[in-house]
Amino acid sequence: MPKDIAVVVGSLRKGSLNRLTAQALAKLAPESLRLEIVEIGQLPLYDQDLDEDPPQSWIAFRERIRRADGVLFVTPEYNRSVPSALKNAIDVGSRPYGHSAWSGKPAAIVSVSPGALGAFGANHHLRQSLVFLDMPVLQQPEAYLGGAGGFFDEGGELKNEGTKAFLTTFINAYAAWVEKVLTA
């Protein structure tokens, strides 16, 4: 049975380069993984006052993350960090304190940008949070995808063969990482 991988996309735009990359990864994934994008745009801002009677969207999100065998983050960079929607999703999933839905989930990060740096800052800020959340993160290969504006055709399909080869290597490495973490 394939491992259930929750894919959290940091960009909320339907046609974002990050969403297209997440969709491409789902198509390239080996049979041992089943990737599903978990939406985060509907989550109200985290407010500890709501922990005793959380919004239904928080409950559903936390349950979905708990059900997942692993989590793949695909994110742009906003102001050298992660987008606020992604940070909010991390906070919602990590609370109430001591009941994090993220704990122990094998994770990986792909950062995507039309710029040259490939969202390097967001990738590393996210890694800092994942350490605290007790998520073992795939170290290699690192995935900073710069120049992403030229990766896709008009229909949103991956047209860049070099990127396709890299993403295939990456998702296969992540599949091996998931297996290693879950059987350790």
Beta carbons of 143 and 120 less than 8 angstroms apart = no
What is the architecture of the domain spanning 3-183?
3-Layer(aba) Sandwich (3.40)
Helix (H, G, I), strand (E, B) or coil at 101: coil
What is the model's pLDDT at position 116? Answer: 81
What is the model's pLDDT at position 118? Answer: 74
Distance CA 5, CA 51 (A): 26
**What are the pLDDT digits (tens) for 139-148?**
999 999 998 9
* Phi, psi for residue 34 in degrees, rounded to 5: -125, 110
Name which of 131, 147, 130, 141 is nearest 168 in CA terms.
141
- State both tokens at 133: 């959340």
What is the model's pLDDT at position 117? Answer: 79
Show the low-confidence residues of the chain (pLDDT under 50): none
* Phi, psi for residue 61 in degrees, rounded to 5: -65, -50
Q: Where are the domains of the chain?
A: 3-183
**What are the pLDDT digits (tens) for 102-120?**
999 999 999 998 888 778 8
Look up the pTM and report it. 0.97
Name which of 85, 12, 15 is nearest 44 in CA terms.
85
What is the model's pLDDT at position 27? Answer: 97
